[in-house]
Amino acid sequence: MDRKTRKITLSVSPAVILLAVLILCGILFIPSRFRREKRSLTIDDTPVVVTRIQSLGELTTACFYDEIVLTRSKQNTLSSSPLGSLARDGFGKDMDDHLVIIAKGTVRAGVDLMEMKPEDIRFSGDTVVIRLPSPQYLDIIVNPSDFEVFAESGKWSHAETTELQDSARRRLIMEADHAGLKTKAYEGAMEAVTDLLTASGYTYIRYDHIPSYIKLPRFGD
Amino acid sequence: MKKAFYIALLILTAGCARGPEDNTLREIEAISAMRQLSLVEYRVRKIVKADDEGEWYKIGDRKILLSCTAYLKAGIDLTGFSADDVDIDRLDGSVTVRLPHATLLSMDIPASEIREEFGQVTLLRSSFTAEERNALLRQGEKQIRDSVPSLGILEKAEENARRFFESVFSKMGFTSVEVVFEP
């Protein structure tokens, strides 16, 4: 039994060695570009040029996050041909080009303290009377990393793509309006300013001229 | 022996089964409260260029050159700010404010300000897709973010923060205002 096993081992071994040598030769001598996997395209390192510096005084107090699906379709040569019509009408097959993008956007809201005039804040003993500026959307952010191309068929130019991506900003503003972000931002700004003034030793903080569209909770609500 | 094998298989497959945590979805609050004071905005320009020679089986190359504008805002995150961070000396009218160091608070690259300046695709290559262009811009976005420490925006934000709080406390009647940045 032992001799038989040894015979098989001896007869197989040269074939295994030959195969191993061939694999090794393949790895060593086949040009590297034939072996490499599909590589991702990388950009060149270019400088970041500062074109403007602006001082700010924006107090951001509320942030809104939403995910929006952006879709656009257009006819192509095939879909507008009789064959395309047949496919659409006869088989219910859509031959149009489609671009579907998921946008993850953020709207940051608060008040711009730079808009405050000297008369908007009055100190009297341990009391402060403040008129805060109206709340506003300070940043609407949908960066390239916030876009995910979910489906793409046909050719879509840069202009067509950016137009669709830009519509995300308008949609985000609508959603933020609907969610009452400005009211939340105003409430947050009042809290922040109250905390700062209380920490500075003031006891009574009163807010003047609150915008009419701000529906703040009343005492006892 | 067979029985033991099936028991072992059962245990192994049970171990591979998805736990309840796999089915839970990540929940994000649509509106969240924050307290950030943006003190400086830098507008920057960036050229995003790529030359795609393609895989070994592709003939020809394609080039693209995009330019984009980014708006960077830096300032102080006041989320943890409390009365303990303000030391008041009423006798000599001085105040010391302790603030965290400035950070990058937001970065905005509007799609409307991204331009394709140049594009060249040889006959046997397909043009850049929306996904490919976005992938390139994503890399550009990362390069801009990585450049923040060398732009001087954080130093400028701290300088403006010092000026801002000095102005606020001076209006309250304090004669000496010290702003200290702590990690």
Q: Quick one: pLDDT at residue A14?
A: 76
What confidence category does residue A9 fall into, taking pLDDT thresholds of 50, 70 and 90? Answer: low
Spatial contact of A143 and B107, defined as CB atoms under 8 Å apart: yes
Which letter does DSSP use for residue B144 in this model?
A: H
B141 forms bridges with which residues in the sheet? none
pLDDT score, position B26: 54
- Chain length of chain A: 221
Bridge partners (DSSP) of residue A68 are: A103
Residue A221 has pLDDT above 70, yes or no: no
| A127–B contact, CB cutoff 8 A | no
**Under a CB-based contact definition with an 8 Å cutoff, are residues A188 and A57 in contact?**
no
Q: Is the pLDDT of residue A93 over 80?
A: no
Ranges of chain B whose pLDDT falls below 70: 1-29, 55
Instruction: Considering only the beta carbons, identify the residue of B52, B112, B130 that sits closest to A149.
Output: B130
Q: Evaluate if residue A10 carries a pLDDT over 70.
A: no
Give the pLDDT of residue A218: 53
- Judging contacts by C-beta atoms under 8 Å, the chain B residues touching residue A135 are none
- Minimum-distance CB partner of A179 among B31, B85, B110: B31
Distance CA A203, CA B106 (A): 34
Return the SS3 of A1: coil
- The ipTM is 0.81
Q: pLDDT band for position A17 (50/70/90)?
A: confident
CA angle B119-A47-A42, nearest 5°?
A: 50
Q: How far is B14 from chain A (nearest CA, A)?
A: 34
pLDDT average, residue stretch A151-167: 94
Nearest to A120 by CA among A194, A208, A190: A208
Cβ-based contacts of B147 with chain A (< 8 Å) = 48
Of A206, A208, A209, A216, nearest to A186 by C-alpha is A216
Cβ distance A192 to B35 less than 8 Å, yes or no, reads: yes
* Structure tokens that stand for A134 in this block: 């109206």
Long-range CB contacts for residues B174-178, cutoff 8 Å, separation at least 24: B174/B88, B174/B93, B174/B94, B174/B95, B175/B92, B175/B93, B175/B94, B176/B92, B176/B93, B176/B94, B176/B95, B177/B94, B177/B95, B177/B97, B178/B94, B178/B95, B178/B96, B178/B97
**Distance from C-alpha of B181 to C-alpha of B176, rounded to nearest angstrom:** 17
Give the mean pLDDT of chain A: 85
pLDDT on residue A12: 60
Query: Which residues in chain B touch residue A145, judged by CB atoms under 8 angstroms apart?
Result: 138, 141-142
Q: Which of B139, B148, B160, B164 to mutate to test the interface with A (most CBs of A within 10 A)?
A: B139
| Residue A215's pLDDT band (cuts 50, 70, 90) | low
Question: In this complex, which of A45, A192, A200 lies closest to B86 when CB atoms are compared?
Answer: A200
Size of interface A-B (CB pairs under 8 A): 200
Q: What is the pLDDT of residue A83?
A: 75
Q: Which two tokens stand for residue B137?
A: 């811009």
Condensed to tens digits (0 to 9), the pLDDT of residues B47-80 reads: 999 988 776 777 778 999 999 999 999 999 999 8
B-chain CB neighbours of A152 within 8 Å are: 129-131
Q: For the residues A78-102, what does the mean pLDDT come to?
A: 80
Nearest CA in chain B to A98: B130
**Residue B95: its chain A contacts at CB < 8 A?**
200
Return the closest-CA partner of residue B130 out of A177, A156, A219, A171.
A156
Record: contact A48-B36, CB cut-off 8 A: no
| pTM, to two decimals | 0.80
Tens-place pLDDT, residues A72-85: 999 887 777 777 77
Q: Where are the domains of chain B?
A: 20-182
